[in-house]
Structure formats: C-alpha cells, structure tokens
C-alpha cells in the first residue's frame, strides 16, 4: 500500500496547514492523559485525615521549595517492597493533594523524605541542618546553618494561603489572619523542622493500607 | 532598479556569540555543582551557591540559554536559506535576541537567590515566565513570517521541526506555568499533587522532546546534508518520522512517574508509547547517518562532520536507552539514581551538544566572512576532548546509578535490607569526582571552541559582506 505523495505535498506547501496539523498532533497525548486525571483528582479531593499545612509548616514548605531540596530528595515511596521496607507505606495520591507544587522529586542523592516525620528528634534535625557532617560524617549534604537566622516572610506566607484558598484549599479567613502570630519570632530553620517532622504523619491518610499484598512487610 | 535582497545574518552572529558565552557559563556551573557532590562545603557558606539553588541555573543555562540561543540563531539561518528570502521583521528579530538574553540572565540570577517555583526545568518565577512567553510569541512571528514570504514553495523538513519546536514549546510553557502570583518572589501553581506531577512531567518530558529533540533535528536536517554535500538520504522517510515523532512523544511523559501514586493506566500508556518512540527516533538517526553514504571519508578530514556523525550515533544510543529505561521493570532499578543523570547527559552532551557544535562550526565561517574556521586543528582537539569527556561522564554515572540501584534493593537471606542509604552513597561517592573530571574535559573543549570562533571572527572582520538572496524566476507562490 502506497500513499500518494501529493497529499503530503499539499501539507508541505501550505505553512498554515502544516502549523495547524502540528498543533493538533502534539496535543493528543497530553489531552488523553491529563484531562482524565483532572476529573479523577476532583473526585478524590480532601481525604479524611489529610489537613492543609498549618502556617508554620507551610512556611517550612516554602523554605523546602525555595532551597531546591527536590533536586536531591524525593517524597514518593514507590509500589516496591524494598521501598516500603526502607521508607514506610507506599505514598498515595491523596497525601500530596495540598502540595503546590508537588515535591515527588526525580533524584535521590539523599534519601526519600515522604515519611521522615518523627523518625529523628527536633534536636537531631537542627544539628543535621546546621552541619550534616556533625551527625552523619559521610554525608554530602550542604550546611543550611543560615536558616537559623533567616526570618519567615509573613507577607508571602499569608499571600500563599490566600492564593491556595482561592484554588480550593480549605483555609479559613481566621486561619490566614492568625498566621502572622503563629510564626512570630520563628526562623526558617524552625519552620523547616516543623515541616519535616510532619511529613508522613500529618499527611497520612487514615487507615491507609499498602496497595499490594507483597508490600505488607 | 530594485536593490538586491540580502540575508539578515547580523542577528544570527549575535545568537552565535550568545550561544558560546552561555555554553561556557552553563557548563562551568555544571562542573561546579558536580564537584559539590563530593566536596559539600564548596559553597563556602553562600546559600546561592548550594547544589539545590545552582542546579536549576545549570540546566537553564545549558538547555535554554545555550541550546535556545543556538536553536533560534540556526533557525533564522536555515529559514532564510531554505526559503530563499530575507528574515521577516528585522526589528522584531533583534527584540527576540535581546529579549531572550534578558530572560536567560534574569532566570540564571533569580533562581540561586531562591526566587523560584521549583518546577523542574521551569524554575523561573511567574513574571519571568510572562517575559519568556512574550519573547517566544515574537520568535514565532519572525520565524513563521519568514516562512510566509518564502520564494520556494515547498517548506523544507528542517523548518517543520523548527516550527513544531516553536509551537509545542509555547504551548507547554504556558500550560505548565499557570499560577497565581503572590509577590515577585512567590507564586502558587494552579495544579497540586498528582495532577501537578503529570503536568510537570508532560512538560519536562516534552521539553526533551521538542527542544532537545525536535529543535535539534531541525538543525540536523539542514546542516548534515549541507556538510555531507549531498541530499538527505530519504525525504519521504523524514515525513513519516516527523509525524510519528511529534504525535508519539507527547504520550511518553508518564515514564518519569513509574510505580508512583500516578494511576496505573497512565503509567502503562506512558511505557507503551515510550517503546514505540524508538521507531521515529531511530528513523531520524538512520536518515542522518545514511546521508553520509558514499562520502564517509569526509568524517576523517572534516571535524564538523565528525561531530555530526557521532552526535547521531549518540542520538540513536540514548533514545534506545530511554525506551529501555521506560520499561517498568528496568525503571524500578534506574529511577531516582544517577543512571537517569547518565541518560540525560548522553543525550545532551552526546547528541544535543555535538550536533550544535558541528552545526555552529559549519555555519560560523559562512556568516563571519571566512571560507573556513581559523584552526582546524583546534576543532580536532575539541572533538576528542568532548567525546572523551562525555564518555568519562556517562560511564561514571552509569556505574554509580546501577550500583546504587542494586544496593537499594539488595536483601539479606532473612528478607531484611542489606544496605543503609548511606552505604550506597559511600559506595558511589568517588564516581562524583570522575564525573567532574569528565565535565572539565568538556568545558576545556568549549573554551577552545570559543577561542577558535573569536579568532575566526577577528580574521574575517573586514571581509563580511551581505550575502545575496538567490531570486529565481520560478519564485513567486
């Protein structure tokens, strides 16, 4: 079977047709995969037990995002038994429903942090952030000691909460107003530690079970 | 009497200069952050110099600043030559140049200071994104405006790829970056969680597809036949590959999210299309390579042709590797490890950088008023430094990735984990030094290229003449 070349020629001699067809051809894949996800995500929103970040933890989330932690740490425990054994229960879609942007990550130069909350004490986390090699001599993580004297940007924090409220995150106006007091006197170090200590605890779906039998270890 | 129409090469010379400067900057940052993974105190207390803050400047610098400048510059060159017409909207073309440079400078400076949305490969904040969108639309107007005033009725395949690159990147940039601005330093993306993951990797993967593949294939389809001095091996084959490539690539983004909380059906669709993708990828690689049929001896004598041939070999190899890594079973080993880093760099250093270097070596003398580059020997040295550096880099990262991946999954006979995470880091740490050495080889090669270009430009300075557009009677359409 041979397609007559003249049909292709018709496209290749008309710039507008070539452009329009290109735009259509590149749109199929994205539409087919993303549109159904939008529908699905709207259906399963706000599972029980997963609350939006408190003000201090949201400030910590911002520090995490702005420091580029995702370049070395993932927050996604995959459906693989050796992953659940190392890091805990499989991560579910519901758990990151309030993360804008999501922090699933793509590279582990350091370990996964999806369920790091409560694994170490606040003091350990602080010492580790001040100088990772003071507690893990072989670590190649940079020091984040400057966070201990960096104030929290309250204007950005309340602005973020308002923007998230617009997008459907259930923050009340009172919560947004109280955010300034909630983080008063706190440093970005305090906020980041609060954020880390809540990971996998505050966003854990109540009664979550591993999806695969094999993952129940 | 009408004055003779000439090609607008002035703006292309600017893009050539920008591409070389950005290559040096982007790769220097790359070498620096590579070293930081072994010497973590190298940031000397400056938050702006930590790995997490600088890595986006490296990726933005090499992909958008170096790659982008080279792509926009060569697309203007190729569009004029294949359409037999002067670039449309000369003033707007200048704006595209300065606008793009401004975007690159702003992006590279703001992100290290924490003014970032931390979306991979789309880090700059909302106001820079708006600027990028404006420049990109202007670029589209200049490019398609040039196509519209062509004297050759038939649009050449290189221009389809450049065109697809412009359309798709514009589309993805806008969809991926939709956000509510909070302040100049902060914005909240409209997507969250799993939807954000899908959108970000639809964008991330297709940035690879339409910048690092389609754009550079445009370059390849013009400069390879030009350098081989014979027509493309099969024009019809390029048609099939074009439509297959642009429609299949968009489906494959989900392979970045295997075994995650993304719904299973999306993962499977992503995997299936990633495997199909090998066909148009190899089709283009084969088409380019076969174009050298009968003139293979050129590869021995012409360093630019050497870069092009090896770039196509790398293109074939790394797209094959990509399809293999998109298989769920392989992905469970490779994901989150340095194997991914190896794959990206075999594609970007082997394919993207080499086709760009080859094309720039082919284009530069023609727009700088010279018959050939100042030093052929320097090109030869550059080729070997680049190839060696790439191999050192990629092999070190393959080793590190597979080693770490195997250690993460190793179990004792009683079913408990054999190694801690730290064990795997200690085991691969020395590879980070070797990778840095590979990067230094590549950077040295680029410095030699910059020197060679500078001397070529200096020597040709007096003899730059506007090149006349051939205006045949068959012209008008």
The DSSP secondary structure of B32-94, one letter per residue, reads HHHHHTTSGGGGTT-GGGSHHHHHHHHHIIIIIIIIHHHHHHHHHHHHHHHHTSPPS-HHHHH
**Which of A59, A68, A159, A170 should be substituted to probe chain B, the one whose Cβ sees the most B Cβ atoms within 10 Å?**
A68
Contacts of A115 in chain B (CB under 8 A): none
Helix axes B376-409, B354-367, angle to 10 degrees: 160
- Tokens standing for B246? 């642009």
**What are the distances in angstroms from CA B201 to CA B121, B208, B255, B285?**
10, 10, 9, 25
pLDDT digit string (tens) for B188-213? 999 988 889 988 998 998 888 899 99
pLDDT digit string (tens) for A52-68? 999 999 999 999 999 99
Contacts of B336 in chain A (CB under 8 A): 74, 105-108, 112
Identify the closest residue of chain B to A100 by CA–CA distance: B192
Cβ pair B180:A167 closer than 8 A: yes
- Percent pLDDT > 70 in chain B is 98
Cβ pair B193:A41 closer than 8 A: yes
- Tokens standing for B68? 């982008």
- Percent pLDDT > 90 in chain B is 88
Among B449, B400, B472, B385, which residue's Cα sits nearest to residue B150?
Answer: B472
Sign of torsion, CA B35 B40 B44 B49?
A: positive
Cβ pair A140:B198 closer than 8 A: no
Half-sphere exposure of B168 (CA within 13 A, CB side): 34
Is the pLDDT score of B143 beyond 90? Answer: yes
pLDDT digit string (tens) for A161-210? 999 999 989 999 999 999 999 999 999 999 999 999 999 887 766 554 44
pLDDT averaged over every residue in chain B: 94
Q: In this complex, which of A97, A112, A160 lies closest to B192 when CB atoms are compared? A: A97
Mean per-residue pLDDT for B302-310?
97
- Percent pLDDT > 70 in chain A is 87
CB pairs under 8 A between A and B: 266
ipTM for the whole predicted complex goes beyond 0.85: yes
Cβ pair B148:A15 closer than 8 A: yes
Strand partners, B183: B186
Q: In this complex, which of B175, B195, B258 lies closest to A37 when CB atoms are compared? A: B195
pLDDT digit string (tens) for A69-98? 999 999 999 999 999 999 999 998 888 889
pLDDT digit string (tens) for B14-49? 999 999 999 999 999 999 999 999 999 999 999 999
Q: In this complex, which of B117, B332, B425 lies closest to A140 when CB atoms are compared? A: B425
Cβ pair B273:A107 closer than 8 A: no
**What are the distances in angstroms from CA B348 to CA A17, B55, B353, B394, B450?**
32, 15, 6, 11, 19
Q: What is the pLDDT of residue A42?
A: 63
Mean per-residue pLDDT for B449-457?
97
pLDDT digit string (tens) for A16-60? 998 999 988 888 877 887 778 777 766 656 667 678 999 999 999
Cβ–Cβ contact B269 with A under 8 A: yes
Residue pair B215/B66 in contact (Cβ under 8 Å)? The answer is no
A49 to chain B, closest Cα gap in Å? 16
A163 to chain B, closest Cα gap in Å? 6
Strand partners, B116: B124
Q: What is the pLDDT of residue B463?
A: 87
The DSSP secondary structure of A48-65, one letter per residue, reads TT-PPPPHHHHHHHHHHH
**What are the distances in angstroms from CA B134 to CA B92, B140, B173?**
11, 10, 11
CB within 8 Å of A66: residues ≥ 6 apart: B114, B115, B116, B118
Contacts of A6 in chain B (CB under 8 A): none
Identify the closest residue of chain B to A107 by CA–CA distance: B336
Cβ–Cβ contact B109 with A under 8 A: no
- Tell me which residues of chain B, numbers 177 to 196, contact chain A at a CB-CB cutoff of 8 Å: 180, 182-183, 185-196
């Amino acid at each position: 079977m041979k397609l007559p070349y003249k049909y292709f020629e018709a496209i290749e001699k008309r710039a507008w047709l070539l452009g329009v067809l290109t735009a259509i051809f590149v749109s199929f894949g994205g539409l087919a995969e993303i549109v159904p996800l939008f529908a699905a995500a709207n259906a399963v929103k706000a599972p029980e037990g997963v609350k939006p970040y408190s003000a201090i933890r949201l400030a910590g989330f911002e520090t995490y995002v702005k420091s580029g932690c995702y370049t070395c740490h993932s927050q996604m425990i995959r459906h693989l038994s050796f992953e659940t054994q190392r890091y805990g229960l499989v991560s579910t879609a519901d758990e990151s429903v309030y993360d804008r942007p999501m922090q699933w990550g793509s590279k582990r130069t350091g370990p996964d942090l999806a369920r790091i909350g409560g694994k170490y004490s606040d003091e350990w986390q602080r010492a580790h952030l001040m100088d990772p090699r003071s507690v893990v001599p072989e670590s190649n993580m940079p020091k984040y000691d400057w966070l201990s004297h960096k104030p929290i940007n309250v204007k950005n924090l309340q602005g973020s909460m308002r923007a998230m409220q617009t997008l459907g995150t259930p923050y009340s106006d009172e919560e947004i107003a109280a955010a300034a007091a909630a983080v008063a006197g706190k440093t970005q170090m305090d906020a980041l530690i609060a954020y880390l200590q809540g990971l996998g605890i505050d966003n854990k779906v109540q009664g979550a079970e591993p999806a695969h039998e094999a993952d129940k270890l | 009497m009408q004055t003779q129409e000439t090609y607008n090469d002035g703006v292309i010379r600017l893009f050539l200069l920008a591409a070389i400067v950005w290559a040096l900057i982007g790769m220097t940052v790359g070498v620096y952050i590579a070293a930081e993974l072994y010497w973590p105190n190298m940031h000397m207390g400056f938050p702006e110099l930590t790995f997490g803050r600088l890595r986006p400047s490296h990726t933005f610098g090499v992909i958008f600043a170096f790659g982008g400048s080279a792509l926009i510059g060569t697309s203007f060159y190729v569009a004029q030559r294949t359409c037999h017409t002067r670039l449309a909207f000369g003033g707007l073309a200048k704006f595209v140049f300065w606008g793009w440079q401004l975007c690159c400078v702003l992006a590279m400076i703001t992100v290290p200071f924490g003014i970032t949305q931390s979306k991979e490969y789309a880090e700059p904040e909302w106001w820079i994104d708006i600027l990028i969108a404006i420049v990109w639309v202007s670029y589209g107007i200049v490019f398609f405006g040039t196509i519209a005033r062509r004297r050759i009725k038939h649009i050449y395949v290189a221009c389809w790829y450049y065109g697809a690159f412009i359309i798709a990147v514009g589309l993805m940039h806008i969809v991926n970056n939709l956000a509510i601005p909070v302040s100049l330093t902060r914005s909240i993306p409209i997507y969250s969680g799993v939807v954000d993951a899908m959108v970000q990797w639809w964008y991330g993967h297709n940035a690879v597809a339409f910048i690092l593949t389609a754009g550079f294939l445009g370059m390849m389809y013009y400069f390879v036949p030009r350098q081989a001095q014979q027509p493309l091996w099969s024009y019809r084959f390029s048609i099939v590959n074009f439509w297959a490539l642009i429609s299949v690539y968009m489906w494959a983004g989900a392979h970045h999210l295997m075994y995650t909380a993304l719904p299973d059906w999306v993962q499977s669709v992503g995997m299936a299309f990633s495997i199909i993708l090998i066909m148009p990828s190899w089709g283009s690689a084969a088409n380019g390579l076969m174009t050298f049929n009968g003139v293979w001896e050129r590869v021995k004598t012409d360093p630019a042709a050497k870069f092009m041939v090896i770039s196509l070999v790398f293109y074939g190899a790394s797209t094959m590797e990509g399809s293999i890594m998109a298989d769920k079973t392989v992905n469970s080993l490779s994901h989150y490890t340095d194997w991914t880093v190896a794959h990206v760099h075999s594609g970007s250093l082997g394919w993207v950088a080499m086709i760009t270097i080859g094309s720039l070596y082919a284009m530069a003398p023609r727009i700088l008023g010279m018959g050939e580059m100042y030093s052929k020997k320097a090109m030869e040295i550059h080729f070997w430094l680049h190839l060696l550096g790439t191999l050192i880099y990629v092999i070190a990262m393959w080793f590190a990735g597979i080693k770490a991946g195997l250690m993460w999954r190793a179990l004792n006979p009683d079913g408990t984990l054999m190694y801690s995470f730290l064990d795997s880091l200690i085991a691969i740490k020395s590879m980070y030094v070797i990778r840095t050495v590979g990067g230094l080889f590549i950077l040295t090669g680029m410095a030699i290229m910059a020197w060679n270009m500078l001397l070529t430009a200096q020597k040709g300075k007096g003899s730059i003449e506007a090149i006349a557009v051939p205006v045949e009677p068959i012209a008008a359409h």
